[in-house]
Structure 1
């Protein structure tokens, strides 16, 4: 089987150290806290490096009018950034009176990806609304939103099962899903780009994958030069590695008590209490 190191431009590329100290195939540190807010049926704070996103899932009985009497449920998502999630303040879109194109695109992406692993017939005529609010942005906000939203969705379904609104979580959730960014920086393919890398990437992609290794979404653009078929293959391999690690984290997070922090260093994942030696 071809290894990622064999696909990189030279033998030193795999061991190259990035500005934040990571190898090219290494995720940023990740933290997950379930039950971060009390009201929603599912609530997750996810941190990927310096990017922080609050993902909530709201379970409601009934579906939109256009979905009624279909026997099918619905999963939808809204994405937004708080005004100072970025270096400079941006006005809330509610003040502007119009949802921006980027916001609308990312909202649709998150909903589409989650529906890809949801059996809407097993959900029944119920709706789950996902809200992803970016508290701090440093690249990869949409991919962090997908990864955190899956956990929030799973928790909302567990709540619904407890209330006897659905029969089985496993019947509704057909598979896991996570997402990660990849890109080519100065000719070298890299995994999980912070803003400084993303802003200078020759090519950048956002890739969502299921737990069984299938693709749900691939968004990719060449910014400064076209990319080759071999480079595309390397980026897909990096994304597969990153998504596999994120899905391992998702599984562990869902096994932990609400409110406890799961930390992932890119090498191993463990509860924060163990990471701090308690």
Structure 2
């Protein structure tokens, strides 16, 4: 498929990600924490580990990894109401995505009868909050599990790989990597790719918002997503030394 170039507000090429930063150990009381930044999108991820399992999980004799996600009130240009009474469907969908993504790279038997919760709170939203959350949540999870090993709670690190996520889409006819809010809000095709360090996909969320798309265009989007995931995996390695 012919590559279409379009001007992007920040001057990036169509296959270029925003600046991504992963800052560890940003919370004193969390076993693992990470401030993840995809451009102007900032998400605080904090992982805690508790002994025991939810009642429905106890018969498995295997651990559990779950997540919670929320947008703070001032994270967007209009105040977002706190989800105190009823949860928003979008928030529940995203936190389930984060949980599924993390469980894909954890040996739950090796984790033992422990529950890991990763809280992802959006401090500032400019597109890609769910993909940033997955990417930063893995770092927080890694550090929390390392702390659990060092405390003698489990014998070895139960991580079997890495997972990261990135958005791709079609905007003004061009296939783009890592959409910011302005691009995402007018995207003709919107897609999120979640994959492991071995290139296997955990989840693919793709929608033709304004146009349909064929397999050739899907292939172009997946190639962009794959390249973005590789960069994120490398950055995770850089800050955690997971594969050294």
Say yes or no: TM over 0.5.
Answer: yes
CA distance in 1: counterparts of 2:16 and 2:59, whole angstroms? 47
Deviation at 1:139, TM superposition (A): 0.1
| Larger of the two Rg values belongs to structure | 1
1:29 — aligned with what?
19
- Residues 53-110 of structure 1 show CA distances to partners (whole Å, capped at 9, x for unaligned) of 000000111111111142200000000000010000021011xx10010001001000
Q: Which runs of 5+ in 2 are unaligned?
A: none
SS at match of 1:99: coil
1:273 — aligned with what?
none
Would you say 1:167 and 2:167 are equivalent positions? no
Would you say 1:238 and 2:228 are equivalent positions? no
Count residues with an aligned counterpart: 242
> For 1:7-26, what aligned pairs fall within 5 Å after superposition?
7-10=1-4, 13=5, 16-26=6-16
> For 1:51-90, what aligned pairs fall within 5 Å after superposition?
51-90=41-80
CA distance in 2: counterparts of 1:113 and 1:68, whole angstroms? 22
- Residues 152-176 of structure 1 show CA distances to partners (whole Å, capped at 9, x for unaligned) of 000001000001111111xx11110
Would you say 1:110 and 2:110 are equivalent positions? no
What is the TM-score with the length of structure 1 in the denominator?
0.85
1:209 — aligned with what?
195
Cα RMSD between the aligned structures? 1.1
CA distance in 2: counterparts of 1:244 and 1:66, whole angstroms? 36
Q: Which runs of 5+ in 1 are unaligned?
A: 1-6, 257-278
1:272 — aligned with what?
none
1:139 — aligned with what?
127
CA distance in 1: counterparts of 2:199 and 2:30, whole angstroms? 30
What is the TM-score with the length of structure 2 in the denominator?
0.97
CA distance in 1: counterparts of 2:54 and 2:177, whole angstroms? 38
Deviation at 1:238, TM superposition (A): 0.2
Deviation at 1:255, TM superposition (A): 3.5
User: Does the 8 Å CA contact 1:178/1:247 hold for their aligned counterparts?
Assistant: yes
After the TM superposition, list the runs of 4 or more consecutive aligned residues in structure 1 that deviate by more than 6 angstroms.
Answer: none
